[in-house]
């Protein structure tokens, strides 16, 4: 039995299958980092840290004549978001109902998506994660002039990357507000803004909940690495006569290997 304790839950095989499918459906659209950066793993729940191949400068030896330096590792972060499911709803699912109420799962999934994106694209100091935007040495491109100026901003970011010798294709992660405004906009002549941006990037444009503004980054590989310990899973916590409490869980770390391979764009001015 794994630490997820799924076997202890009062949930049938059919119920688990439905919950897993619903969880995947809710998580997949927003996991922007995984669409743009390298992914390593999953290495398993027991995997706790990534080797960085370095040691700390401080000599911690208590004995004269002996040098001692601690290894530097990047510890993984555990994410967990709890949600409840009504047992009556689960029983309905076992009878074949197709409209089971998974509202709480929806909220938990969105929270996990935002936390993962925040770690990848910005930073999470308390977890020791420095994200893409935080590490980038480039000043954020100021997003003035409304969404219609986005092709100019993205082109400027791509040109900056090319100048630094960072090859494409390039991807674009857009925060909620930016994504909506880009998708609904057309340039003069009716040409969809989204298509114009794709032509500049030669790579994907992804919806990235939790991202403030946008980030243009190279997708050539080897620049950003999402290290997965245990990939996203559903575990069991407790139950009573009415509800079952479950949780979404994963462990991961994130490394920026080439800080200059990304350019942030500031949030749109309203």
Partner 1 sequence: MGFDQYHEPPQELPEETRTFARLCASLTEEAEAIGWYEQRLAVERDPEARGVMADAVGEEYKHFCMDLEFLLRRKPKWREIAQGVLLREGDIVEHGEAAEAAAGDSASAEAPSSELPVLAGTLGIGSLKEGQ
Residue 244's nearest CA partner among 65, 134, 94 is 94
Q: Cα(87)–Cα(243) distance, rounded to whole angstroms?
A: 5
Q: Cα(75)–Cα(108) distance, rounded to whole angstroms?
A: 24
Q: Which of 8, 12, 20, 195 binds partner 1 (CB under 8 A)?
A: 20
What string marks each residue from 99 to 138 as x (binds partner 1 by CB under 8 A) or -?
Answer: ----------------------------------------
Check residue 222 for interaction with partner 1 (CB under 8 A).
no
Check residue 219 for interaction with partner 1 (CB under 8 A).
yes
Q: Cα(116)–Cα(5) distance, rounded to whole angstroms?
A: 24
Q: Which of 11, 27, 197, 262 binds partner 1 (CB under 8 A)?
A: 27
38-40 and 224-228: which strand pairing?
A: parallel
- Tell me the window of 29-37, 145-153, 187-195, 261-269 that interacts with partner 1 (CB under 8 A): 29-37
Q: Cα(254)–Cα(130) distance, rounded to whole angstroms?
A: 8
Check residue 43 for interaction with partner 1 (CB under 8 A).
yes
Of 150 and 224, CB closest to partner 1: 224
Q: Cα(223)–Cα(169) distance, rounded to whole angstroms?
A: 13
Give the sign of the dihedral formed by CA 5, CA 6, CA 11, CA 13. negative
Q: Which of 8, 10, 44, 68 binds partner 1 (CB under 8 A)?
A: 44
Q: How many CB atoms lie within 10 A of CB 59?
A: 11
Contact 197, 172 (CB under 8 A): yes
What string marks each residue from 233 to 252 as x (binds partner 1 by CB under 8 A) or -?
Answer: xxx-----------------
Could you tell me how many residues of this chain bind partner 1 (CB under 8 A)? Answer: 31
Nearest distance from residue 74's CB to partner 1, in Å? Answer: 18
Q: Which of 11, 15, 18, 36 binds partner 1 (CB under 8 A)?
A: 36
- Tell me the window of 17-25, 99-107, 119-127, 132-140 that interacts with partner 1 (CB under 8 A): 17-25
Check residue 80 for interaction with partner 1 (CB under 8 A).
no
Q: Cα(209)–Cα(30) distance, rounded to whole angstroms?
A: 6
Contact 235, 247 (CB under 8 A): yes
Q: What residues line the site for partner 1 (CB under 8 A)?
A: 2, 4, 6, 13, 20-21, 23-24, 27-28, 31, 34-39, 41-45, 204, 219, 228, 230-235
């Amino acid at each position: 039995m794994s630490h997820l304790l799924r076997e202890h839950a009062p949930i049938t095989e059919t119920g688990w299958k439905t919950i897993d499918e619903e969880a995947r459906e809710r998580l997949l659209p927003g996991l922007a980092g995984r669409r743009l950066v390298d992914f390593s793993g999953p290495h398993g729940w027991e995997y706790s840290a990534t080797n960085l191949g370095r040691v700390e400068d401080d000599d911690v030896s208590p004995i004269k004549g002996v040098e001692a330096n601690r290894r530097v590792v990047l510890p993984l972060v555990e994410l967990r978001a709890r949600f409840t499911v009504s047992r009556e709803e689960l029983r309905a699912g076992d009878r074949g109902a197709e409209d089971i109420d998974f509202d709480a799962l929806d909220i938990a999934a969105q929270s996990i998506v935002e936390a993962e994106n925040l770690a990848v694209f910005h930073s999470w100091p308390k977890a020791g994660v420095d994200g893409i935007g935080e590490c980038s040495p480039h000043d954020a491109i100021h997003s003035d002039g409304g969404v219609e100026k986005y092709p100019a901003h993205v082109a400027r970011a791509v040109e900056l990357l090319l100048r630094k010798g960072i090859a494409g294709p390039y991807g674009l992660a857009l925060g909620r507000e930016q994504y909506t405004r880009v998708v609904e906009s057309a340039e003069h002549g009716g040409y969809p803004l989204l298509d114009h941006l794709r032509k500049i990037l030669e790579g994907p444009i992804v919806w990235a909940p939790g991202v403030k503004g946008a980030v243009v980054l190279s997708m050539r590989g080897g620049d950003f690495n999402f290290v997965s310990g245990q990939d996203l899973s559903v575990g069991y916590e407790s139950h009573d006569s009415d509800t079952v409490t479950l949780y979404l869980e994963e462990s991961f770390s994130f490394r920026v290997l080439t800080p200059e391979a990304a350019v942030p764009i500031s949030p749109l001015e309203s």
